[in-house]
Amino acid sequence: MVELKDIKGPINFGLNYAWLIALIILAVIGVVVFFIIKKHRKKEKPLDIKPKIPAYVLALEALDRLKNKNLSVVPYYVELSLIVRTYLEDRFDIRAPEMTTEEFLFYLVSFDSIGVENKNMLKDFLNHCDMVKFAKYDPQTEEMEKSLSCAYKLIGDTSERLKT
């Protein structure tokens, strides 16, 4: 019969070796994680900083383009009204394009950045645009030119170039 021997005890590496092995394993894991993160991190694009074009410049350019378009009356007034409303949104942070004329005029009563004369001009302008767009009013060429001039004046009177 084969004689069985007793089990040998655990090998003792000593306290210093255990800590050394643990530190080496943690260091290797840290290096691997660092390179994985570095490899998968999106390369940041350099910031493309362009100076912001002032709202009045954009609006005046849009009015110039509108003047050269050959639109029928209703599309002309839709675009004219949108240019002015977009300008007001960009210039004064008013959600003018999303508001009805009635909502906008109600809001305008308590808005101090636009003078009373310009508020009245804006009210007349928007009501005239609405008459053309929704009530099938057919303005004469003079009225269309007057509406365009009114838009230019509103933008000129309220532009930030006057504030700087």
Q: How confident is the model at residue 94 (pLDDT cuts 50, 70, 90)?
A: confident
Residue 125 in contact with residue 158, Cβ under 8 Å? no
Q: How confident is the model at residue 159 (pLDDT cuts 50, 70, 90)?
A: confident
pLDDT at 50 over 70: yes
In a domain? residue 117: yes
Provide the phi-psi class of 14: left if phi over 0, else alpha when psi is between -120 and 50, else beta.
left
Domain extent at residue 61: 55-162
One-letter identity of residue 127: N
Q: How many domains does the chain have?
A: 1
pLDDT at 58 over 60: yes
Contacts of 73 (CB under 8 A, 6+ apart): 132, 138, 139, 144
In a domain? residue 121: yes
In a domain? residue 39: no
pLDDT at 138 over 50: yes
Check residues 155 and 163 and name the one with the higher pLDDT. Answer: 155
In a domain? residue 65: yes
pLDDT at 162 over 80: no
In a domain? residue 141: yes
pTM higher than 0.85: no
pLDDT at 104 over 60: yes
Residue 158 in contact with residue 91, Cβ under 8 Å? yes
Contacts 24+ apart (CB under 8 A), 122-126: 122/84, 122/154, 124/150, 125/84, 125/150, 125/151, 125/154, 126/81, 126/84, 126/101
